[in-house]
Amino acid sequence: MSSSAPGATNPMLYDPIPEGQGSTTKRNQFVAALGICMAAVSGGTALAWTSPVLAQLVPANQSDTSGLEHESFLLTTDEGSWVGAFLAVGAFLGALPAGYLAEKIGRKYTTMSLAVPYLISWALIIFATGAGMLYAGRLVIGIATGASCVVAPMFISEVAETSIRGALGAFFQLHLTVGILFVYAVGSYTHWVTLSILCAIFPVLLIVAMFIVPESPVYLVKKGRRIDAGVALKWFWGPNADTQSALQTIQSDLDAASGEAKVSDLFTNPTNRAALFISLLLMFFQQFSGINAVIFYTAPIFQSAGSTMDPAVCSIVVGVVQVVMTLASSVLIDKAGRRILLLQSSFIMGACLIVLGVYFKMQNDKVDVANIGWLPLASVVLFIISFSLGFGPIPWMMMGELCAPDIKGLASALAVMFNWTLVFLVTKSFGTMQELLGSDWTFWFFGAWMMVCTVYVFIKVPETKGKTNAQIQAILGGKK
């Protein structure tokens, strides 16, 4: 493993620097997070793009293409599923190289460079003449999205003060949902090529924002550029910040992380192993919450509840709920704590999934459900609220809180790769599950995992609110 690979010498997700004796301001930290998260908005548009687009390119009845004659090409159902799945393949491939680039050229220029694959992918999609170019575009945009999942949280964590660690940590998921809402709102009423052109605006904004935001002080100290690091800290924390104390803290963390971390260190050290497994399992439960299944069924559920709303409006409503509740999570996360938000999330989502399964079972059995038409609608809204408050943003944030500095880079890259592997598996297998098990058992399957998740979080996941990395490592090592 080279010295520049993610590991001991690549402190990707360092704890935010403790606040010094001086007076700090937080405005520029939020400005920086907003600019960095243009990468997350770009990723959100990539994630949601297939929702309105496949409705335009994949005939509901493969033998009936009426209404789609204006399209230059159409896709089969299988081709449509691969257009969706290739993003996850690309995201898996993009996670590990992102850490390498962040160490080689810095966090700032790595984040800025993500705009290049985003723009290339949108160009491939805009000028696509068939499924092959869409596959290529989705693969490339997946690489950019996977890299964003590593670099953006890392960059934010290295410039944030302790008191706003949770709020800024939730920014990444918040801006993903903003990108998703943008696609739902615009894509429902525009041609897919027009939508793709509009989505290309966000990578351009990312480039502009990164010209304004300084390099990470952690990276600058690591490269021996202590004066530049002090200047960057003044920009992030304000002119009256105690930069000398902050720079000394950064240097101490880097000195403590000397040496080369290997993959085996994640498994041979009990504390590292506990941190990695918790991070991986939080990612597992995030995807096995059935979030994609619920999003997929949103329009039918609204209709079964007797709603006369356009399916496009239903999607927009869900998108608005996600944005609002993820924003609420960014406020609550430093007040209520991580564990309670995760527990409510898994328990309520599990209950909602069970209720949805029962409703679809009753429908399949020809039971009159007219009197409880409101129930599935309420379940979906409550499910989205609970996911957005807990398992939406928190796994991404906690993967950076749980690990010791010397293994954070490698562990976070592995967690992101694992997450996207699960996205691919769940997305590709959902249709098959629906055919083999039926809608009821599909929802019960995900609901059962949420019940398991509730028990696991209660027993194994520590509270990290307000704790230093050393305190978290002591808890994971059984030394409370």
* C-alpha–C-alpha distance, residues 474 and 408, integer Å: 16
pLDDT at 125: 95
Average pLDDT over residues 114-142: 95
Crossing angle for the helix pair 408-460 and 338-364, to the nearest 10 degrees: 70
pLDDT at 409: 67
Q: What is the pLDDT of residues 374-397, one digit of tens each?
A: 788 788 889 999 999 999 888 888
The phi and psi torsions of 266 (rounded to 5 degrees) equal -70, -25
Domains of the chain by range and CATH?
25-60+71-213 (1.20.1250.20), 263-479 (1.20.1250.20)
pLDDT at 119: 97
Q: Return the higher-pLDDT residue of 202 and 7.
A: 202
For residue 95, name the pLDDT band (cuts at 50, 70, 90).
confident
The tally of CA atoms less than 13 A away on the side-chain side of residue 113 is 16
What is the dihedral sign for C-alpha 157, 163, 169, 175? negative
Q: What is the pLDDT of residues 59-68, one digit of tens each?
A: 765 555 555 6
The phi and psi torsions of 64 (rounded to 5 degrees) equal -125, 105
The proportion of the chain whose per-residue pLDDT surpasses 70, expressed as a percent, equals: 86
* C-alpha–C-alpha distance, residues 63 and 50, integer Å: 21
* C-alpha–C-alpha distance, residues 205 and 214, integer Å: 16
Q: What is the pLDDT of residues 160-177, one digit of tens each?
A: 777 777 778 788 888 999
* C-alpha–C-alpha distance, residues 234 and 221, integer Å: 14
pLDDT at 17: 47
pLDDT at 364: 80
For residue 45, name the pLDDT band (cuts at 50, 70, 90).
very high
Average pLDDT over residues 283-287: 94
| Nearest residue to 92 (alpha-carbon basis) of 415, 430, 427 | 415
Q: What is the pLDDT of residues 190-211, one digit of tens each?
A: 999 999 999 999 999 999 999 9
For residue 311, name the pLDDT band (cuts at 50, 70, 90).
confident
Which of 226-240, 300-314, 445-459 has the lowest average pLDDT?
Answer: 300-314
